[in-house]
Amino acid sequence: MSNSLAIAAVTATLRNLLHAGVTNEPDLADASITMQPLDRARTNGGNANQINLFLYHVVPSPAWRNQGIPGRVRSGESGYPALGLNLYYLITAFGRDNDVQQPFSHQLMGRAMSVLNDHPLLGADEIKSALPNNDLWAQLERVRITLQPFAIEEIAKLWTGFQTQYRLSVAYEAAVVLIESVRPSRTPLPVLMRGPADTGYFAQANLSSPLPMVNAITIPNGQVTAELGDSITLVGQNLTCDSAEVQFSNLRLATPLLVTGSGLTGQQITAAIPAKTTEWPAGVYTVSAILTRAGVSASVTNELPLAIAPRITSPLPLKATSNKTGMTLSLACSPAILPGQRVSLLLGDQEFPAASPTAATGQFTFPLTAIQPGTYFVRLRVDGVDSQLIDHSVTPPQFDPKQQVTIP
Domain ranges across the chain: 6-179, 213-308, 311-407
Q: Which residues pair with 407 in a beta bridge?
A: 374
**pLDDT over 90 (residue 395):** no
Q: Which residues pair with 186 in a beta bridge?
A: 78
CATH code assigned to 213-308: 2.60.40.1220
pLDDT score at 256: 94
Query: pLDDT for 207-249, tens place per residue?
Result: 777 889 999 999 988 888 999 999 999 999 999 999 999 999 9
- Whether the full predicted model's pTM is greater than 0.75, yes or no, is no
Confidence of residue 77 (pLDDT cuts 50, 70, 90): low
Q: Which residues pair with 120 in a beta bridge?
A: none
Q: Are 292 and 298 in contact (CB under 8 A)?
A: yes
Q: Are 78 and 186 in contact (CB under 8 A)?
A: yes
Strand 318-319 to strand 404-407: parallel, antiparallel, or no bridges (unpaired)?
Answer: parallel
Considering only 3-12, 53-62, 179-188, 238-247, which range has the smallest mean pLDDT? 179-188
pLDDT score at 382: 93
Confidence of residue 65 (pLDDT cuts 50, 70, 90): confident
Of 83 and 189, more confident: 83
Domains 213-308 and 311-407 fall in the same CATH topology: yes
311-407 classified as CATH 2.60.40 = yes
Q: Distance (Å, rounded) from C-alpha 20 to C-alpha 261?
A: 87
Confidence of residue 129 (pLDDT cuts 50, 70, 90): very high
**pLDDT over 70 (residue 380):** yes
Confidence of residue 370 (pLDDT cuts 50, 70, 90): confident
pLDDT score at 185: 67
pLDDT score at 316: 87
Q: Which residues contact 175 (CB under 8 A, 6 or more apart)?
A: 61, 85, 86, 87, 143, 144, 146
Q: Average pLDDT, stretch 20-24?
A: 92
Confidence of residue 333 (pLDDT cuts 50, 70, 90): very high
Q: What share of the chain in percent tops pLDDT 70?
A: 94
Residue 226 dihedral angles phi and psi, to the nearest 5°? -100, 165
Residue 109 is inside which H or E element, if any? Answer: helix 104-118
